[in-house]
Amino acid sequence: MDYILEAVMQAFRLLSSGDAETFSAVWATICVSTMSVVLTLLVGVPLGFFLGYADFPGKRPVRTLVDTLLSIPTVLIGLLVYALLTRRGPLGGLGLLFTLPGIAIGQTILGLPIVVAMTATGVEALDKRLNPTLLTLGAGPRQILMTTLWETRFSLGLAAMAAYGRIVSEVGISMMVGGNIKWHTRTITTAIALETGKGEFALGIALGLILMLLAFAVNLATVGLRKRVKR
């Protein structure tokens, strides 16, 4: 147990001293997670709105597929994105492999089913009288869209928090697509896996503490939003 206590103490020293290697991974994680969540919301919210609002042939199988993709393994997404971005892949000319934007593409795919499913659920849970009332008042398609999104704002917030929590803690995509390059694409999770394998428990624990703080912040925000929803 002594080496664990010593590693914890050293981890706090690394954090308090602003260790460059530690905070390089933190910065990379924040950057790529933010890019991923923004892209996920830009794509996922309209798709989720359409899935929850519209009736079309094959809606049930599509909804089943979206719900199934909620549990897709991150290593599978990493493999698919790697195949697309490698030099022999169809998007190899973009030069996105082993870059933060490349990781963001994979993490966007990871978070997309969460946002689509939760947005659709939020839209379906709205009062059924909302749409007829808006039409009676002469609202156009844009006004209906904006009003519906406003009524589901808390559900959208929960979707964003859930997607961020899933994205920030994943390791498979970051490792395969980013390559875990020091000072460049090494994120918190990949750094923890690498440093622990090397026996560098102090750095792993330091990064683990930061990851726990991020997860706690996300959970705290989620709880607050859920309380607002219940009101």
**What is the pLDDT at residue 9?**
75
pLDDT, tens only, 192-224 = 888 777 777 777 778 888 888 888 887 787 777
CB atoms within 10 A of CB 119: 28
At residue 77, does pLDDT exceed 80?
Answer: yes
Contact 77, 122 (CB under 8 A): no
At residue 87, does pLDDT exceed 80?
Answer: yes
**What is the pLDDT at residue 228?**
66
Mean pLDDT confidence for 180-203: 84
Confidence category of residue 55, pLDDT binned at 50, 70, 90: confident
- Helix, strand, coil % over all residues of the chain, rounded to 5: 80, 0, 20
Q: 3-class secondary structure for 66-106?
A: HHHHCCCCHHHHHHHHHHHHCCCCCCHHHCCCCCHHHHHHH
Cα-based angle 19, 212, 229 (whole degrees, multiple of 5):
135
Question: Domains in the chain and their CATH numbers?
Answer: 25-230 (1.10.3720.10)
Q: Compute the CA torsion angle 174, 176, 181, 182 (nearest 10 deg).
A: 50
Query: Could you tell me the sign of the dihedral formed by the alpha carbons of 168, 217, 151, 117, in that order?
Result: positive
Q: Is the overall model pTM greater than 0.75, yes or no?
A: yes
**HSE (side-chain half, CA atoms, 13 Å) at 119:** 28
pLDDT, tens only, 98-129 = 999 999 999 999 999 999 999 999 888 887 77
Contact 12, 87 (CB under 8 A): no
**What is the pLDDT at residue 229?**
58
Stretch among 5-9, 55-59, 78-82 having the lowest mean pLDDT: 5-9
pLDDT, tens only, 141-166 = 788 778 887 888 888 888 998 899 89
